[in-house]
Amino acid sequence: MAQEYKLILKHADEPGYTPDIECYLRHGGYDSLRKALTVPVVELSDGKKKSAQEQIREDVMKSGLRGRGGAGFSCGLKWSFVDRRSGKPIYLICNADESEPGTFKDRQIIHKDPHQLIEGMIISCFANDVKLAYIYIRGEMPKGAKILNQALKEARAKNLLGKNILGTGYDLEIHVHRGAGAYICGEETGLIESLEGKRPYPRIKPPYFPAVLGLYMCPTIVNNVETLCNVKHIVGMGGAEFAKLGTPNNTGTRIVSLSGQVKRPGYYEIEVGKATLGQLIHDPEFGGGLLDGRKLKAVIPGGSSSKVLKAGEKFKLKRKVDGKDVEERPIFLIFLMISIRFSKRAP
């Protein structure tokens, strides 16, 4: 039977869990960061050395983590494209623009467990030699921006951020940057233009691949909120262990945003590939079925760039939800249920 598996949202909805750093620390917060910062350098047989950073990047590759921002691109591979030889600074941007119709997962993380994101970011920055990073949050989340700023302040006060983090000699600063109501800012090159203080017109690839020519024409990593949270768990449990969650080609968990005319709309975290669309819609622990008097007409399994599945396409409903299987193109794993009512016209 399909069931929830809570990794990212493990604590968020627990009674008494608060977004402040003390609560986060009581729940083992920043242990993964401490672990990452103290990974010993490994001496290879040929006399070469492998740094902590390289080892973490390898572990993320091994974990099989795919981006949670939409395209589902391998996180480890994306990091491996970063131009580390140019001598230019490397930037990291957390994409918290969450504007894709039907997605409402990043808001939950930011509001309820902001330090999880910040810990994931600090580790990701450390692994990629990033000294300056930004959280690009959509303008319509002013509360979220305040919560993040407060959390960053708390992290700075504990020397988890800023100069010489925990005495390791590593410096990092993270700032919150607010968008102002434009959906296209979620697209990574548009986001970068916006962060440069311009209109968010997307850049043409090639040549503007962020890993090489990103923010200020420097190598830049853009990752989604949920992706960066996962990095914390990969370091915590080890990439190989993480890869056991989900399916071999698509690992970990996914926060599914279920909305529309179901009895229990909401966000549900599942192991990737361990629930079918039908289960998500009908099972009592997920959607609980359609609202009374309604008949399924269509399902949108992703954002506006995904295909609308008509109710007649029964075989689709049996497919497993694992980002890649349903369609090769971007899948946002959002379910908008469109249904019709028998008796009355829809409002």
Partner 1 sequence: MSFSIPAGLEAEIDELITHYPVRRSASLMLLHAIQEHFGWVSPEAVQWTAAKLGLEPINVHELLTFYPMFRQAAPGRHQIKVCRTLSCALGGSHALHRHVCERLGLDAGAHGLQTTKDGKFSVEFVECLAGCGSAPVMMCGDDFHEGVSGKKADEILGGCK
Residues that bind partner 1 (CB under 8 A): 98-104, 106-107, 132, 138-143, 175, 177-183, 194-200, 216, 257-261, 265-267, 300, 334, 336-338, 346-347
Q: Residue 104 or 209: which CB sits closer to partner 1?
A: 104
Binds 124: which of partner 1, ligand FMN, none (CB < 5-8 Å by kind): none
Q: Is 272 a residue that touches ligand FMN (CB under 6 A)?
A: no
Q: What is the gyration radius of the CA atoms in the chain, in angstroms?
A: 20
Tell me how many residues contact ligand FMN (CB under 6 A). Answer: 20
**Phi-psi region at 246: left, alpha or beta (left = phi > 0; alpha = psi -120 to 50):** left
Q: Provide CB contacts within 8 A for 176, sequence distance 6+.
A: 134, 135, 137, 145, 148, 149, 152
Residue whose pair of structure tokens reads 């709309």 in the numeric block? 265
Measured distance CA(161)–CA(119) in Å, rounded:
10
Neighbours of 225 (CB within 10 A): 29
Binder to ligand FMN among 154, 188, 193, 322 (CB under 6 A)?
188
Tell me which stretch binds ligand FMN (CB under 6 A): 3-11, 192-200, 216-224, 274-282: 216-224
Tell me which stretch binds ligand FMN (CB under 6 A): 22-30, 95-103, 108-116, 333-341: 95-103
Measured distance CA(48)–CA(106) in Å, rounded:
40
Q: Residue 32 or 224: which CB sits closer to ligand FMN?
A: 224
Tell me which stretch binds ligand FMN (CB under 6 A): 1-9, 109-117, 169-177, 220-228: 220-228
Neighbours of 252 (CB within 10 A): 26
Q: Is 64 a residue that touches ligand FMN (CB under 6 A)?
A: no
Q: Is 97 a residue that touches ligand FMN (CB under 6 A)?
A: yes
Q: How far is the CB of 196 from partner 1 (least distance, A)?
A: 6
Q: Which is nearest to 119 in space by CA: 61, 35, 189?
A: 35
Q: Which residues of 145-172 are buried (b: 16+ CB within 10 A; e: fewer)?
A: bebbeebbebbeeeebbeeebeeeebeb
Where on the chain is the footprint of ligand FMN (CB under 6 A)?
A: 67-71, 73, 78, 95, 97-100, 184, 186-188, 222-224, 227
